[in-house]
Amino acid sequence: QTFTAWCNSHLRKAGTQIENIDEDFRDGLKLMLLLEVISGERLPKPERGKMRVHKINNVNKALDFIASKGVKLVSIGAEEIVDGNAKMTLGMIWTIILRFAIQDISVEETSAKEGLLLWCQRKTAPYKNVNVQNFHISWKDGLAFNALIHRHRPELIEYDKLRKDDPVTNLNNAFEVAEKYLDIPKMLDAEDIVNTARPDEKAIMTYVSSFYHAFSGAQKAETAANRICKVLAVNQENEHLMEDYEKLASDLLEWIKRTIPWLEDRSPQKTIQEMQQKLEDFRDYRRIHKPPKVQEKCQLEINFNTLQTKLRLSNRPAFMPSEGKMVSDINTGWQHLEQAEKGYEEWLLNEIRRLERLDHLAEKFRQKASIHEAWTEGKEAMLKQKDYETATLSDIKALIRKHEAFESDLAAHQDRVEQIAAIAQELNELDYYDSPSVNARCQKICDQWDVLGSLTHSRREALEKTEKQLETIDELHLEYAKRAAPFNNWMESAMEDLQDMFIVHTIEEIEGLIAAHDQFKSTLPDADKEREAILGIQREAQRIADFNSIKLSGNNPYTSVTPQIINSKWERVQQLVPKRDHALLDEQSKQQSNEHLRRQFASQANIVGPWIQTKME
């Protein structure tokens, strides 16, 4: 992509361009045209045929021209270019870029790559967060590109608004400005640079070389202007330089002396707003207060050197400033200022990042705490309620299922509580200014969480205990019902029998009824024991309920025969038994009288009968 853009930046001067770098150079025509544009020389006339041999001949002409410029083409042959070998094609283009765009760069006795690197370092030296050491990772955050543009065209870039932590925006800003105002086409992709651990060095060098060529002419003009200014300054200011130097040096040293303690102050603030105000003050210092001092320092050095030169040319003794006001003294003080400034800026940015993280963590803590507190609202009251005391067995089972669901919900919130505690711990470790309130709130949440856990455990135990007790009571109710029903039927049958009318004609019949009644009465003790056992079951169920404060609702669900009914019918049976005794005894007495009369009648019949029979004869 970079090599294609670089080639097109030159080919467009000839009214053409390439789309695919490993395809469009295969016939050699555009390759020859590219070399003509960048060299300003004419190459041999190309062959216009479509055959492979024509293409190879054209590419060879281009390669021969490159070789004529002192470039060694190692392992790059025309056949590979014609065949569309991407690796060889890119290698050839890189060789062309090195020869025609980079090799001729010369900066302070260094040339080519080293010269280009030195040029970048010199131009970006005054800029914060820019440290160009290579042509790969030094350019990833985009600040170096913006610094190069701003150094030469400050009106195009608002450098102070750029952020080191937003590399994509920085890169795109530089690329767009360069393309729009400097006629440097976009050769790189911001996303590729940011997402690559080590950007491609050749691509960066190619693009940066375009900046060098764009600005080199302007730089030469600037250098010439500075020299003229210096000459004029020598001619115009020779008389008052010596007087001004002392005052300017004193003022500058005093300003440095006042400023360094301010820059060395590392007292952290509690809020981002306060730190941002410090940063704004620092930016005002960089933008408003320092630039005039930079100019004063430069002017002071110019004045001193100019003065010494003038004095030397005039064969006068060299100027010796007052003690402590030498240029070396000012440079030493300025270095201390720069060092304090650099450290101060790093501290400000780190402190703001720390406070931003703290604010983010504090907001995260508040959100999680609020959500948790909203969830816990009413939970203690719910866990403390004793609704199980009046619940039926089915109700208690439903309450247990509901409690199990709550326990699952409680367990799910355990992570939130741990996160809240972890955030609070981190805020403490990062020295958050409002840690006491955070700690108090966190402690309250943890204490409440412990209470909820204890109450949850207690409620489960109470529910399970009540369930077990209700199951016992339910079993007793069922046993009561199973025994009360037949006993009730027996009493109802006994009452019917005891109240049943009887008609007898002989003593034998009444004696049989008496015997049956006596047999019935002999069963009453066992029946009474059964009654007591049945009532004991009911009393046991009630005792369990009373002992455990369980309020039983309604009657036995398995029977309508209550202890009151059993006792009432039993009392009725007890009342009917003596009545039956009297009735049977009265009937027995009556039958005994009748039997006596029957016997008298029978004896008289034995006397009258023979008499009647004799008379009849």
The amino acid sitting at 68 is S
Confidence (pLDDT) at 609: 55
Whole-angstrom distance, CA of residue 67 vs CA of residue 85: 20
pLDDT at position 503 over 50: yes
Average pLDDT over residues 306-329: 80
CATH class of 477-614: mainly alpha
Which residues neighbour 339 within 8 Å (Cβ) at sequence distance 6 or greater?
A: none
Q: Both tokens of residue 201?
A: 């060095």
Q: Both tokens of residue 476?
A: 């007793």
Whether 1-219 shares its CATH topology with 477-614 is answered no
Confidence (pLDDT) at 519: 92
- Give the chain's mean pLDDT: 85
Instruction: Identify the weakest region by mean pLDDT among 115-129, 233-247, 290-304, 418-432.
Output: 233-247
Whole-angstrom distance, CA of residue 499 vs CA of residue 569: 13
CB 441 within 8 A of CB 516: no
CB 118 within 8 A of CB 107: yes
The topology (CATH level 3) of 234-361 is Methane Monooxygenase Hydroxylase; Chain G, domain 1 (1.20.58)
For the chain, the structural domain boundaries read 1-219, 234-361, 477-614
Which residues neighbour 30 within 8 Å (Cβ) at sequence distance 6 or greater?
A: 11, 16, 18, 24
Average pLDDT over residues 493-510: 87
CA distances from 474 to 98, 305, 527 (A): 98, 112, 25
Confidence (pLDDT) at 488: 92
Using CB atoms within 10 A of its CB, is residue 384 exposed (0-12), middle (13-18) or buried (19+)?
Answer: exposed
Confidence (pLDDT) at 234: 46
Q: Which of 195-199, 219-223, 236-240, 347-351 has the highest mean pLDDT?
A: 195-199
User: What is the per-residue burial (b if ≥16 Cβ within 10 Å, else e) of 5-43?
Assistant: bbbbbbbeeeeeebeebbebbbbbbbbbbbbbbbbeeeb
Bridge partner list, 107: 110
pLDDT at position 121 over 70: yes
For domain 1-219, is the CATH number 1.10.418.10?
A: yes
pLDDT at position 235 over 50: no
Residue 237 pLDDT grade (very low, low, confident, very high; cuts 50, 70, 90): low
Confidence (pLDDT) at 132: 93
Average pLDDT over residues 136-152: 93
How many CA atoms does the CB half-sphere of 579 hold within 13 Å?
Answer: 12
Residue 510 pLDDT grade (very low, low, confident, very high; cuts 50, 70, 90): confident
The closest alpha carbon to 421, from 365, 378, 462, belongs to 365
The closest alpha carbon to 156, from 174, 130, 133, 134, belongs to 174
Confidence (pLDDT) at 342: 83
CB 88 within 8 A of CB 31: no
- Bigger pLDDT: 333 or 310? 333
Confidence (pLDDT) at 83: 87
Residue 230 pLDDT grade (very low, low, confident, very high; cuts 50, 70, 90): low
CA distances from 553 to 390, 477, 542, 549, 614 (A): 7, 13, 11, 12, 90
Q: Both tokens of residue 145?
A: 């590109």
The amino acid sitting at 399 is L
pLDDT at position 486 over 90: yes
Percent of the chain's residues with pLDDT above 90: 22
Q: Both tokens of residue 401?
A: 């299922």
pLDDT at position 146 over 70: yes
